Amino acid sequence: MSQHESVNNGNSFPEIKEIVTKVSVNKTPAMMILQAIQFTYGYVAPEMLERVTELTGIPSSTLYSIVTFYAQFRLEPIGDNLIQVCHGTACHLAGAERITESMVMETGAQAGKTSEDRLFTVDKVACLGCCSMGPVITLNGEVHGYVTPEKVQKVIKERRECCVANGCKDHDHTAGKEATVSE
């Protein structure tokens, strides 16, 4: 227990307290708390898990068993831009492998990893549900269909230039979550 306190002092990750309070009204909050943390910080660090244990009493072994089981949880922070390359069946047939290869080449990030300059994280995912438009990628939550290596070059160049020029960080990686249409 004292160890936990020395790590966190109860002050780090202030949002976690809010999350825990909000989510704990549900019957089985562990997974939802972790999902909310991932949504807020973009990843789940061991110290965050300890903080959750501290606040809720859920054993950290339980929390670890969840974050290591589900592919969605990341244990490391992501780069400034998050790219998901779909490797579902339709996209595989449409040439997803080439898209990932060119993504790796353009961003310098190996699949599943973040580039050294921390500008890009490239992930392979299974099916984004737009299978008729393969190959499909998402760039910071926005879906792009019929992607070609040429388009990859173009969008990565644009993003790189924009991020370097404006120092823009923390794109809304969850843009899709808020894809509201103006009424």
- Which residue ranges make up the site for ligand FES (CB under 6 A)? 86, 88-91, 127-131, 134, 136
Residue 79 or residue 88: which is nearer to ligand FES going by CB? 88
Q: 144: helix, coil or strand?
A: strand
Q: At which residue do the structure tokens 């004292």 appear? A: 2
Report d(CA 22, CA 17) in Å as an integer. 9
Report d(CA 122, CA 75) in Å as an integer. 15
Residue 8 or residue 38: which is nearer to another protein going by CB? 38
Report the nearest approach of ligand FES to the CB of residue 157 (Å): 24
Sign, CA torsion 122/128/130/132: positive
Please choose which of another protein, ligand FES, none residue 176 contacts, taking the beta carbon within 5 to 8 angstroms, the exact cut-off set by kind.
Answer: another protein
Site string for another protein, 125-144 (x = CB under 8 A): xxxxxxxxxx-x----x-xx
Please compute Rg for the chain using Cα positions.
Answer: 18
Phi, psi of 114 (to 5 degrees): -110, 145
Report d(CA 37, CA 58) in Å as an integer. 15
Report the nearest approach of another protein to the CB of residue 163 (Å): 22
Q: From 7-15, 46-54, 89-97, 154-162, give the range in contact with another protein by CB under 8 A.
A: 89-97
Contacts to another protein by CB under 8 A: 27-32, 35, 62, 65-66, 69-73, 87-90, 92-95, 97-98, 101-102, 104-105, 125-134, 136, 141, 143-145, 148-150, 153, 174, 176-182
